[in-house]
């Protein structure tokens, strides 16, 4: 009788969508892996995976932490027309950038993303990684735009988390003689 199947390191890297050894796409054998809805975002998803990998493995800095951007994209957002209260959990900031994400979540009965469940299902990861790449490429102005898609306590949380990126502290330097007059 064979023992338990070993857990590979790449399975613990929740941002991975490709195998770090062969570069092939990871599949978990579900029908959701066949989703053609995210096909236009594959290149952006690969860029997002590289950004997260560079931060996690290499400590390569950038204007905004890709891990933090990923967390921010999973914050709840408001949608119009207003959904039923039971469906509010389905709408995330990521759906503003990648509308297909809303359709993916509409097929799910729940979305268990929280600090207790930090690793997303494999069929959701390409959308998140593509969103990270889009925001990273667009810069802080994209975060300012996304602030307006959140509501209530989530807006406050989003603004607090992005304020230092959207409105960086102005470096005045030492006072000049003209400033003293």
Q: How far apart are CA 21 and CA 116, in angstroms?
A: 28
Task: Please tell me the predicted confidence (pLDDT) of residue 137.
Answer: 92
Is 76 among the domain residues? yes
Residue 74: domain span: 40-166
85-102 per-position pLDDT tens digit: 666 666 788 888 998 888
Alpha carbon distances (Å) from 91 to 16, 39, 66, 83, 177 = 23, 21, 21, 9, 53
Contact criterion met (CB below 8 Å) for 150 and 78:
yes
For all residues of the chain together, what is the average pLDDT? 76
Task: Please tell me the predicted confidence (pLDDT) of residue 50.
Answer: 92
19-41 per-position pLDDT tens digit: 877 878 877 665 554 467 778 88
Q: How far apart are CA 139 and CA 122, in angstroms?
A: 26
Is 23 among the domain residues? no
Is 177 among the domain residues? no
* pTM of the entire predicted model: 0.76
Is 70 among the domain residues? yes
Is 27 among the domain residues? no
In this model, does residue 180 exceed pLDDT 50? no
Is 151 among the domain residues? yes
Q: How far apart are CA 172 and CA 106, in angstroms?
A: 49
Q: Of 58, 53, 69, whose CA–CA distance to 132 is shortest?
A: 69
Q: What is the mean pLDDT of residues 118-128?
A: 78
Number of domains in the chain: 1
Task: Please tell me the predicted confidence (pLDDT) of residue 30.
Answer: 57
Q: How far apart are CA 129 and CA 139, in angstroms?
A: 15
Task: Please tell me the predicted confidence (pLDDT) of residue 43.
Answer: 92
């Amino acid at each position: 009788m064979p023992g338990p199947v070993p857990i590979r390191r790449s399975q613990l890297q929740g941002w991975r969508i490709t195998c770090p050894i062969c570069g092939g796409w990871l599949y978990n054998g579900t029908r959701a892996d066949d989703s053609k809805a995210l096909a236009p975002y594959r290149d952006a998803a690969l860029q997002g995976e590289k950004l997260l990998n560079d931060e996690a493995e290499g400590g390569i800095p950038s204007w905004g932490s890709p891990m933090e951007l990923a967390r921010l994209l999973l914050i709840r957002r408001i949608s119009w027309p207003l959904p039923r209260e039971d469906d509010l959990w389905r709408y995330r900031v990521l759906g503003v950038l990648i509308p297909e994400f809303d359709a993916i979540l509409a097929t799910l009965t729940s979305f268990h993303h929280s600090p207790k469940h930090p690793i997303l299902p494999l069929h959701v990861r390409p959308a998140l990684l593509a969103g990270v790449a889009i925001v990273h490429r667009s810069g802080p102005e994209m975060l300012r735009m996304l602030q307006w898609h959140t509501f209530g306590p989530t807006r406050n949380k989003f603004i607090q988390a992005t304020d230092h990126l959207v409105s960086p502290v102005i470096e005045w330097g030492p006072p000049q003689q003209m400033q003293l007059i």
